[in-house]
Amino acid sequence: MAFVITEACIDEKAADCKDVCPVDCISEGPDQFFIDADVCIDCGACETACPVGAIFYEDDLTAERKKFVEKARDFYQSQ
Ligand code: SF4
């Protein structure tokens, strides 16, 4: 499990999350930031820092936001 960045980040890209992540597992993508689920330690710092409420724990995602898990996976697989 990991934290996941969702639609509110798209075109917002405040980047506050990237500044607070203790394991540097947040990367900027073309339209939003992404969390690397293989590195995230579930500390929750990014969720608190995000000014637009874009970040959720994976288990707490609504059905329509679950696509952002796959979107992040696809982003890191393409790196
Ligand atoms: Fe980084 Fe913590 Fe957010 Fe995971 S939960 S992405 S480790 S700040």
Return the CATH number at 51. 3.30.70.20
Residue 36 in tokens = 């690397």
User: What is the per-residue pLDDT for 1?
Assistant: 82
CA 22 to ligand 1 center in whole angstroms: 7
> Atom 2, ligand 1: which residue's CA is nearest?
43
Residue 13 in tokens = 């890209």
User: What is the per-residue pLDDT for 24?
Assistant: 98
pLDDT tens per residue, range 16-74 = 999 999 999 999 999 999 999 999 999 999 999 999 999 999 999 999 999 999 999 99
CA 71 to ligand 1 center in whole angstroms: 17
Model pTM score: 0.96
Rounded CA-CA distance 1/11 in Å is 25
Domain that holds residue 30: 3-77
Confidence class for position 14, pLDDT limits 50, 70, 90: very high
Rounded CA-CA distance 33/25 in Å is 10
| CA-wise closest residue to 35 among 59, 17, 8, 19 | 17
Total structural domains within the chain: 1
